[in-house]
């Protein structure tokens, strides 16, 4: 008889957090929607995962200001990039 593999909900938080560091943004967001425990981990303890995503996507190693997390830094940077792209698109469309 084979031993039963541990279920995801049986893993300790620290083990799950180690896995989250390797996920891409879409995967991290999808995982956070699968269970309350994972949503809580992503929202409150997954700052190393957000740091990895930030460094991978923006090649900018400036630490977040005091009181902000890497998740905040990632969100703010994405908001800035989206606004810049929207402005660029508006300029291109106004020329046509």
Tell me if the pTM is above 0.75: no
Q: How many domains does the chain have?
A: 1
DSSP per residue over the chain, as a string?
Answer: -PPPPPPGGGS-HHHHHHHHTT--HHHHHHHHTT-HHHHHHHHHT-HHHHHHHHHHHH---PPPPTT--HHHHHHHHHHHHHHHHHHHHHHHHHH-
In a domain, 6, yes or no: no
- pLDDT, one tens digit per residue, over 67-78 is 999 998 888 888
In a domain, 79, yes or no: yes
- pLDDT, one tens digit per residue, over 4-55 is 776 777 889 999 999 888 988 889 888 888 888 988 888 888 899 999 988 9
In a domain, 3, yes or no: no
Domain encompassing residue 71: 11-95
pLDDT at 12: 92
In a domain, 61, yes or no: yes
């Amino acid at each position: 008889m084979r031993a039963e593999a541990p279920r995801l909900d049986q893993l300790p938080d620290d083990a799950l957090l180690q896995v989250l560091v390797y996920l891409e943004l879409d995967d991290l967001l999808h995982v956070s929607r699968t269970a309350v425990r994972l949503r809580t981990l992503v929202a409150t303890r997954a700052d190393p995962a957000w740091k990895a995503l930030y460094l991978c996507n923006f090649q900018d190693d400036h630490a977040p200001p005091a009181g902000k997390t890497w998740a905040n830094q990632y969100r703010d940077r994405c908001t800035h990039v989206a606004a810049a792209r929207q402005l660029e698109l508006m300029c291109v469309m106004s020329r046509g």
